[in-house]
A and B are shown apart, each in its own frame.
Chain A
């Protein structure tokens, strides 16, 4: 009887010590696969982007130019999105333009009021598109590398799916309706020639 009690006591001790000492986690929860942004970006591109480009997040280009002269900060407060501290504000700008010059990387566009924009058609880098859409939050990603892959994937899509199909329209004198992403800083000259990354290029009717 004594031996039985002794054995039970030892078992209890061992079990309790083991239970308090060990933490068991599933191996598949510890293993993190390489993040693939394709699916997320594809979902956004097909399901969210079309509505975004005709929604009230897009500031008309004439209003944009007017606000730059009158109240740049209001423009930033109303439409600008930024990542963290010190980065430029990104926003969506759209309207009718005339193509004035076609270059290897940049196509020059002019508004009816005479403002000039440089539309980037190659070598698209950085976070401008990702931030301007407002569709992706850094807090949703395990690490910033994954978040940066989203930006890179979006930039690649702009070249493949927006610029490449529109190349036939990119000729001096053509009128285009363009919606694109722009970076804006709180300080800068009112006649700044902004670089615009296109998210939609359509010929004007």
Chain B
């Protein structure tokens, strides 16, 4: 009987051990940083990723970029691998403000600090620090430029980014804070184009079929602004419909110079990425004192000041 009891206890101990094995590794490699990016199918995020990686390498770390392909489950897989591999820190651009929280929590439980870049997660005490564009203020400035350009009356459309991303709504709210003060300006279409150029082109084509009398379109990022421009150009309305973007991408700055797009919000992906890498370095060298969130100012870029942004 005691032999069987002994065998049972061994069985229980084995099971407990196997459960324990799914937990985090006991040590992390402080010389490695993971750069997890929502998508590399957009030049803006490529710049964010490469800037973070480059700064981490300058600071003496091995840095690896992980592409979540705008897919939360892919992001979770990356976090599993990063935690299992025991990276020292994660420079993180989330796919979803709510959905990404659990990944950051798991990293925190594994004693891996997470520094969010550009995109926010809806939790206060999980990420070590969140370095974010001040999208709201940037889009207040874009909203003012919109009213100055198209006037106080007319129909307009809005192309939203990913609906699960706080940036989408901060930009939209900043814009509407201004534009909604003018009842003559009527939003006749508001659709998501997922921050994607091709999707924006298709969405804009369908909007134009229903609303040919638009005076302007506000796009939540520059990729969508370029997609909207292609659709508007193809419809022969490039002179009538004024386009506004957000990000400060090079091709949009050129389009502003050429009068194809009216304005964009100049974000600072390089500054955000470098700041995140430097904060991670500070953390790994003993400084654990960071503000929870650091907004980075966004400037409105128009034809009047676009030449200040040559580089």
Contacts and interface: CB of A to CB of B under 8 A. Distances in A.
B297 A13 contact: no
B178 A85 contact: no
A145 interface: yes
Contacts of B268: 86
A9 interface: yes
Given A17-B15, A85-B271, A148-B170, A142 B124 contact: yes
Interface stretch (A42-50, A95-103, A119-127, A193-201): A119-127
Interface string B1-19: 1001100110110011001
Contacts of A83: 134, 295
Contacts of A13: 11-12, 15
Given A125-B140, A143-B166, A86 B97 contact: no
B12 A84 contact: no
A13 B14 CA distance: 11
A22 B296 CA distance: 39
A142 B122 contact: yes
Nearest to B18: A17
Contacts of B166: 143-145
Nearest to A84: B295
Interface string A85-113: 11110000000000000000000000000
A84 B15 contact: no
B123 interface: yes
A143 B122 contact: yes
A21 B169 CA distance: 35
Interface in A55-108: 83-88
Contacts of B275: 85
Interface residues of B, number: 41
A9 B134 CA distance: 57
B181 A87 contact: no
A25 to B, nearest CB: 11
B294 A125 contact: no
Given A5-B5, A126-B140, A139-B124, A87 B12 contact: no
Contacts of B19: 16-17, 20-21
Contact of B1 (A2, A127, A139): A2
Contacts of A139: 124, 291-293
B45 to A, nearest CB: 19
B216 interface: no
Interface string B114-152: 000000101110000000101111001001100000000
B237 interface: no
B177 interface: yes
B248 interface: no
A87 B137 contact: yes
A125 B144 contact: yes
Contact of A123 (B124, B132, B169, B181): B181
A142 B166 CA distance: 11
Contact of A86 (B16, B144, B293, B297): B297
A152 B177 contact: yes
Interface of A: 1-2, 5-6, 9, 12-13, 16-17, 20-21, 32, 83-88, 123, 125-127, 138-139, 141-145, 148, 151-152
5 contacts: A84-B295, A88-B297, A139-B292, A143-B166, A145-B169
